Structure 1
Amino acid sequence: MPKVIYSLAPALGHHKRFSNNDENTRIPHILNALEYAKLTPQFRGSEINQIIDIRKATMEDITSIHSTSYYSFLEKTVKDAKASKDGVLEIETSKFPTYVTRTTLNDALIGAGAGLSLVDAVVAASRMSENPPIGFSLIRPPGHHALRDGAMGGCIFNNVSIAARYAQRTHGRKRVFIIDFDAHHGNGTSDAFYDDPDVFFLSTHQDGFYPVDSGKFDDIGCENGEGATLNLPLPELSGDIAMQTAFDQVIVPCAQRFKPDIILVSAGYTGHFMEISTSKWQMTTRMSYVLADGIKQLAKYLCGGRCVFFLEGGWFTDTLKFCIEESFRGFIGEPSMPDEYAKMFPNLLKDEPSSQVKQAIQRVKNLHSL
């Protein structure tokens, strides 16, 4: 049985040049890098597999999270885009451009479906083995900012949230633990489950960045879901030490206490120190390895190894490819490789604000009695 399975949904037609960082060359660039590093089925057939026959998400899948009115709005907007001169229309959204092209709805349905196909495969494999493969959905558009009634931050459908509801509805995996380690807060995912005690949403993100008014310490859920949302905003210049501490002292004990049936991960790589335009964190590719390996071990001991990653942010493709490679190495248990950019630009790595990080972690531990 392989150690990792992945799906690809590059959304090549969802593209507006120079409008934002989510270029349609992003997934092909990652795949080329994985092939160069010999981390594809061509070289690792026994350890790494790709799901070829992925399905499109259905209306039922999408409306488990999003409103039917939003879906209808997308249908109309895509139709208008097809009739427009350039084939692209902007969606009114807050603080970050989101657009549709002639193929956006179809691309987004395939992207969401790619994640659901992995959930199917991972759950099925867990019935046959105590060590099922980790899934990684390499997809565009990203999803964790998408709201019930609208697009936001370049996100059309909230892929990880749709997968959470699918795991519950189709596979009976009632308790879902979602980890979001993107430097930007997964506000759409948080909103989707804010009153739900069966979905625990845990986000580490840069304090006061994007979206500015979400992901506060005191946002812990409401009604029956109170306590099932945990936000850990970390200060600027947080790096590998900060994230390692957050993993050990917050993520691990939360997961152990929640006892999930499946773990889903919004895997955003905007925290890398070369992502200068999208965050002020300074993690290296080593942290991609550490998180992949650590979350894999959590899934193994807590929920029969059932775990699927979903690509979110990570816009500087030259470092993103190394981060994905390191994630794959963490999944299959190979040694981590040095961060080439850390070698080239050591002056960009500053001392971490250890006292501020310690205070942030202690605050969230107090709030959640960890």
Structure 2
Amino acid sequence: MVVLNNLHCSLSSATGNVLFLPAGHHSVSSNTRLFNGNVFSRSKNQRVTIRNSSSQPYIDQLNNAKLIYSVAPSMGHNKKSHPESHFRVPSIVLALEQLELTPEFRDSGEIIEIKDFNPASVDDIASVHERDYVSLLEFLDSTMKKDVVFNIGGGPTYATETTFQDSMVAAGAGLALLDSVVAASKINKDPPVGFALIRPPGHHAVQHKPMGFCVFGNVAIAARYAQRVHGLKRVFIIDFDAHHGNGTNDAFYDDPDVFFLSFHQDGSYPGTGKFNEAGAGAGEGATLNLPLPAGSGDAAVRAVFDEVVVPCAQRFKPDIILVSAGYDGHVLIPLAQLQFTTGTYYMLASGIKELARDLCGGRCVFFLEGGYNLESLALSVADTFHALIGDPSLASEFDDPNVLCEEPKAQVKEAIQRIKHIHSL
């Protein structure tokens, strides 16, 4: 039993049960939801009505929404004891239900879940990755025997018999959300923000191989889709995962129409994302990497957002904002030491939503990346949802300030000043 202030989270890896009991909310029995392929059988998807269509009932429904989300848990893509496990998305979904952040608890229609959507096409994936790599992963998917797991790429990354199809579904869930957000923006000056609760994550995957738990670059694929299908030429990508999104960085390194901005822990995996990695050729200046010292914490992120993210976005003038939303910088996760809290993610989500509203007609989609402590992941995503629908944060109920160390304010200030000098902010 893990206790964090007024919230209790009980996890049994044997049955896959995760139970959240927030103070002030109804109790839910431990067998409410099992994490298995029967409950989360979302790989059998049908085409969502909004995908490349103009279904009027769905358009009308979007008019009242503040947040739309899709779920692709990739239950078959799993390796025992691996941190990037099939428990991740179900733990988030269960927390959303118990914190009443799902459609059945919001009769006003302010939250919508897209349940039926097509997987991404090979052409969608090939807009970022080499076709030979896509074909190889499909071949492994079709020839692999049940329960056999291969380590592939770096990270270590793994593949199972369902990895190819699961990854296509995950990318498709993000594209369906993008379609919906764009459709809503045509009828509403304040359209809903999208959040793709998907895995495997994507921001480390490079053109020709998987890497760092990531298979296909979901955000990068969505950026090319936004340009190709919706004519949204200028795409601004914010990556707040604790680790540098090297795959996304590389995909657009020489592209002036996609601005990639990442702040991450200095010296962490995969060792890229230095100050001087700022784009090349026509794309010089359209990549910004801000490595932060360990222990940076909430105040540092607020300074980064106000002094770096906002002026960069204002100068770039994007048509849409996409977000690699990684939650592995949380203080409860040992893979990084950034000391982010649930409140950090609430602040970031609020700021990004406002930025999208001010600069690009509210068009904004979040994509789940890292986050491997099920408790902190679920609660941080839930508080992100609170931010995106305009509800107060519940971070004070979840976060314990006693576990935080003093922030290295001088080092953070120096890093911000350095990046502002390099990019003339």
Q: Same fold (TM over 0.5)?
A: yes
SS in 2 for 1:128: coil
Answering whether residue 254 of structure 2 is matched by residue 195 of structure 1, we say yes
After superposition, the C-alpha distances for 1:100-139 in whole angstroms (9 at most, x for unaligned) are 1111100000000000000100000000000100000000
TM-score, normalization by structure 2:
0.84
Structure 2 residue aligned with 1:243, among 296, 301, 314?
Answer: 301
For 1:234 and 1:135, how far apart are their aligned partners in 2?
27
Report the CA distance between 1:9 and its aligned residue: 0.2
Tell whether the 8 Å contact from 1:97 to 1:153 is kept in structure 2 after alignment: yes
Tell whether the 8 Å contact from 2:323 to 2:366 is kept in structure 1 after alignment: yes
C-alpha RMSD of the superposition: 1.0
Answering whether residue 144 of structure 2 is matched by residue 87 of structure 1, we say no
Runs of 4+ in 1 over 6 A off after TM superposition: none
Structure 1 residue aligned with 2:92, among 19, 30, 42?
Answer: 30
Report the CA distance between 1:340 and its aligned residue: 4.3
Q: How does 1:197-346 map to 2 (within 5 A)?
A: 197-212=256-271, 214-276=272-334, 278-340=335-397, 342-343=399-400, 346=401
For 1:22 and 1:354, how far apart are their aligned partners in 2?
32
- Segments of 5+ residues of structure 1 without an aligned counterpart are none
Equivalent pairs counted in the alignment come to 361
Q: Which residue of 1 aligns with 2:122?
A: 59
In the alignment, residue 150 of structure 2 is paired with which amino acid? L
Q: How does 1:84-163 map to 2 (within 5 A)?
A: 86-91=147-152, 93-94=153-154, 96-163=155-222
In the alignment, residue 424 of structure 2 is paired with which amino acid? S
SS in 1 for 2:290: strand
Tell whether the 8 Å contact from 2:342 to 2:398 is kept in structure 1 after alignment: no
Answering whether residue 229 of structure 2 is matched by residue 170 of structure 1, we say yes
Answering whether residue 422 of structure 2 is matched by residue 367 of structure 1, we say yes
Tell whether the 8 Å contact from 1:240 to 1:283 is kept in structure 2 after alignment: yes
- Segments of 5+ residues of structure 2 without an aligned counterpart are 1-63
SS in 2 for 1:167: helix
After superposition, the C-alpha distances for 1:193-238 in whole angstroms (9 at most, x for unaligned) are 00000000000000011111x1000000000000000000000001
Tell whether the 8 Å contact from 1:142 to 1:155 is kept in structure 2 after alignment: yes
In the alignment, residue 89 of structure 1 is paired with which amino acid? F
Tell whether the 8 Å contact from 1:268 to 1:311 is kept in structure 2 after alignment: yes
Report the CA distance between 1:341 and its aligned residue: 5.0
Structure 2 residue aligned with 1:8, among 51, 71, 85?
Answer: 71
Report the CA distance between 1:40 and its aligned residue: 0.4
| Structure number with bigger Rg | 2
In the alignment, residue 275 of structure 1 is paired with which amino acid? I
Identity within the alignment, % = 58
For 2:378 and 2:158, how far apart are their aligned partners in 1?
25
TM-score, normalization by structure 1:
0.96
Q: Which has the higher helix share?
A: 1
Q: Which residue of 1 aligns with 2:238?
A: 179
For 1:125 and 1:341, how far apart are their aligned partners in 2?
33
